[in-house]
Structure 1
């Protein structure tokens, strides 16, 4: 896991940063800007999906060994209220870690209010 907060990939390109990650958990911070909004002026659902997927993937990475790579195999996002411009936090956590499959959850909060909840299954691939 990157020590400088860089999550890399697409999530890094849109501005997501790793705040902390250890022991099956990870927290991302993100600043919602105008380019992240949909035509209705609220946070685009695809951005939320990217953030929860990334937070959960980072949480899984805290449990993997050298050569193991988590890959999303299923993702369900429940949108609870519209996100708005400004800071938000995404907390991902491993619920059940198996040898080949891992179940995770994530919550997105902004100003102390829930924006979304997600559940995902990650396959653990062997890249040795």
Structure 2
């Protein structure tokens, strides 16, 4: 998280949030927030949501689908995530990234749970 200038996501009860201020280093050649930056935000936030809901297991992303809804610009980005389904070895989580009250990204991921 320090590489992208963000604090660790805060998670509790299967939900997590992460806020970061996007600046020039987060932009692509078109001047909008790079898709890889947005993917990092949802992946990290979903991982924190899952960690807050399980005990003694580490989530590992096994599948991640991202829908980019609109371009982001420099400024505050807020990622939120929530665990949707827990199975014996897989957990499904959803996340969104918003900026100025508008959705930029919706993501759905499956995580394998690895014993610590």
Smaller-chain TM-score range?
A: over 0.9
Per the alignment, residue 26 of structure 2 pairs with 36
Number of equivalenced pairs: 116
The runs of at least 4 aligned residues of structure 1 exceeding 6 Å deviation read none
Per the alignment, residue 16 of structure 1 pairs with 6
1:53 is paired with a residue of what secondary structure? helix
The change in CA–CA distance for 1:19 and 1:70 in structure 2 (over 3 A counts) is closer
CA RMSD of aligned residues (A): 1.1
1:106 lines up with 2:98 in the alignment: no
Moved more, 41-50 or 15-24: 15-24
Per the alignment, residue 8 of structure 1 pairs with none
Structure 2: which 5+ runs fail to align?
Answer: none
Give how far 1:16 is off: 2.2
1:121 lines up with 2:102 in the alignment: no
* Structure 2 length-normalised TM: 0.95
* Structure 1 length-normalised TM: 0.87
Match of 1:25 among 15, 21, 24: 15
Give how far 1:126 is off: 1.2
Match of 1:85 among 65, 74, 78: 74
1:62 lines up with 2:46 in the alignment: no
Structure 1: which 5+ runs fail to align?
Answer: 1-10
